[in-house]
Homo-oligomer: A and B are copies of this chain.
Amino acid sequence: MTTRVQRLGHRPRREAGSTAVPSGKAAYRKLINPLQPQRSFSDDQIATLHDTALRVLENLGMRVLNEEAFEYFRDAGAKVDSSTSTVFIDRGLVQKALASAPGSFALAGASSERDIQIGGSNTAFVCIGGPPNVMDIDRGRRAGTQEDMRSFFKLSQHFEVLHIQGVNVEPQDVPLELRHLVQTEGQLTLSDKPLFVYARGSDQVKDMFEMIRIARGLDNEGFRARPHCFTVINTNSPRQLDVPMCQGIIDFARAKQVTIITPFTLAGAMAPITIAGALALQHAEALAGITLSQIVNPGAPVVYGSFTSNVDMKSGSPAFGTPEFVRAAFGAGQLARHIGLPWRGSAATASNTPDAQSTYEYLNSAWGSVLGGVNMMLHAAGWLESGLSASLEKFILDVEMLQTIAEIFQTADLETDNLYEAIAEVEPGGHFFGAPYTMARYQTAFYQPLVSDWRNFGQWSEDGAKTATMRANTIWKKVVENFEAPPLQAGAEEALKDFVARRTREGGAFPV
C-alpha cells in the first residue's frame, strides 16, 4: 500500500481520461426532497396508531433484558416487573422523551462539506450494511472478505449520491474480535463521509469511538459535541430489547452519537399481520428505545427507524418492495412526523440475483421511502437476497436510480422565462437541434446516465448486447481500480494503524 504522501503526490488517476467514471454532481451532496409526502392513514388513524402504541407500552410493557437499561427505566419512574424483566412505560415518560429528542441534527463528516443534515426535508442515502456474503457476476456468491469490504467503502466514497458509509459486507476473513477494528479503519481511511459503528458491546464501541477521535483529531469533548457516526438498534420484535441493543442505546446516548431505533416488525411473523397492526407494534417498540436514549441523555440524537414489511405466509420468507412495504413506508413516515423525529427507511429486495425483480423491488422500496419523506434511506446501494448478500453490480445499478431521484429533486432550473421566444426559433415541422436556445444549454440540460445505454438495437448488438448488469460490472471495477482516498489529517493514518496494532495485540474485543 502506498502512503498518503505518495498518493497525493501523484496526479489523481481518475482524471486520466477514458478510465474515469463520473462521481455525480456536487448538488447531490445535499438533497432536499420537494415531493409531497404520501399518506396511508388519515390524521385520526395516525392518532389511533400512536395511542395504541402508548397503551401497549403502559399496559403490556416491553421486556428489557439489559439490567442497566432496566434500572434506567425504573429510576425514571416506569413501573417494572423484575420477575419477567418487564418495563411498563407510561405516556408521560414517552412525551418527555419526545420533547427532548432533537427533530433535526447534523451528522459530521471529516470536513464541513461532508456534513449531512438529518431531519426535515433533508434526504440522505446510506450504503448497504450487514450481509455475510458478496456477489459479482464474475465470481458468483461467496463469503465476504476484507477486500470486498474495502471495495464497497471505495464505491460509497466515490459517488456523491451516497452520503453516509455503511459497514457493507462482513469481512469473514478477519477474526470476529478484530472485525470492528478493520471495519472502522476502512471507513476512516478510505472515506471522509460520516460512518457506521456496530453496537455489539461496549468494548467494541469504545474502540471505534476512539478511532474516530484519532482520525478526526478530536478530544473527548470535541467528539461528544457533534454526532460523527450512527448505529442501528433492532428490537427483538415483539416487545423485547436485548442486552447488546440496550447497551448500544446507552453507549451512544452517553456519547451523543446517533442511534436509529428500528423494530424488525415483519407483518404476520414478528408483528400482527395487518400493516396497521405491524406499524402499531413498530411504533411502540421504537418509542421504548427512543425513551431509553432520552432517559440516559436528554437531547441525544435518535432516529425513528422502520423496517415493516410482509412475509410469504407459505414459507415465512420476508418480502420487500411489495405493495405492503410501500404502504407501510408511507405510514411510518406519517408516524415519524407525528412525533417530530427524523425517519429512517430502506430500499430492499428479496431477489437472489441482480435482475428485473431486484430492480423493481428495490425501486418500489426507494420510491416508497422517498414519497414517505425518508430522512435516512439505509441499504440504498448493493442490497440483495433479503440482506444476505451485497452485490457489486447492483450497487452500480442502485446508484443510477439514486441519481435519478436526486435529479428529480433538483427543481430550481425549471426555467419558465423566454419559452415563447424559444418556440418561435423553429418553424413548423423543423427541429431544435441547432437552435440558439438549444446551443446555450445542450451540454448540461439533461442527466447523463451512468449505466443506461440509449443506443439503437444495432449499435448495442454490435457492441456485445450487454445487459445493464454486465455494464455495471465494468463500472464498479473501474471505480475500485482508479480509487484515490481522500486525505486524512497529518499523522492520523499512522496513529490509527498504531491503535489497531495495539488492540490486535491485546486480543481485540468480541461481540456480545
Contacts and interface: CB of A to CB of B under 8 A. Distances in A.
Contact of A316 (B37, B49, B433): B433
B408 A323 contact: yes
A56 interface: yes
A289 B385 CA distance: 50
Of all A-B residue pairs in the complex, the 6 with the closest CB atoms, nearest first, are A323-B407, A63-B428, A357-B468, A355-B467, A359-B359, A272-B422
Nearest to A236: B429
Given A40-B411, A272-B419, A433-B269, A361 B456 contact: no
A292 interface: no
B49 A419 contact: yes
Interface string A35-48: 11111110001001
A351 interface: yes
A37 B488 CA distance: 46
Contacts of A423: 52, 56, 60, 238-239, 272, 277, 280-281, 284
Interface in A370-428: 371, 385, 388-389, 397, 400-401, 404-405, 407-408, 410-411, 413-416, 419-420, 422-428
**Most chain-B CB neighbours within 10 Å: which of A267, A385, A400, A419?**
A419
A453 B322 CA distance: 12
Interface string A235-263: 01011100000000000000000000000
A432 interface: yes
Given A63-B429, A446-B313, A408 B453 contact: no
A240 B448 CA distance: 30
Contacts of A400: 360
29 contacts: A35-B38, A41-B414, A52-B416, A52-B420, A236-B428, A238-B423, A239-B423, A239-B429, A272-B438, A273-B432, A273-B438, A273-B442, A274-B437, A275-B414, A277-B419, A277-B422, A280-B420, A280-B422, A322-B446, A322-B447, A326-B404, A327-B414, A357-B467, A359-B359, A360-B397, A364-B401, A364-B404, A385-B457, A388-B457
A1 interface: no
A475 interface: no
A121 interface: no
A48 B324 CA distance: 40
A122 B273 CA distance: 29
A445 B356 contact: no
A428 B270 CA distance: 10
Contacts of A63: 428-429
A317 interface: yes
Contact of A442 (B45, B313, B358, B359): B313
Contacts of A469: 355-356
A319 interface: yes
A2 interface: no
Contact of A280 (B367, B410, B419): B419
Contacts of A45: 414, 416
Contacts of A98: none
A437 B397 CA distance: 40
B456 A424 contact: no
A323 B404 contact: yes
A430 interface: yes
B352 A277 contact: no
A404 B437 CA distance: 41
A401 B362 CA distance: 12
A271 to B, nearest CB: 6
A462 to B, nearest CB: 11
Contact of A276 (B414, B431, B461): B414
Nearest to A459: B315
A268 interface: yes
Contacts of A204: none
A490 interface: no
A131 to B, nearest CB: 11
A438 B354 contact: no
Interface in A308-343: 310, 312-313, 315-319, 321-324, 326-327, 331
A156 interface: no
Contact of A429 (B240, B357, B443): B240
A238 B428 contact: yes
Contact of A445 (B39, B268, B359): B268
A356 B356 contact: yes
Contacts of A438: 268, 272-273
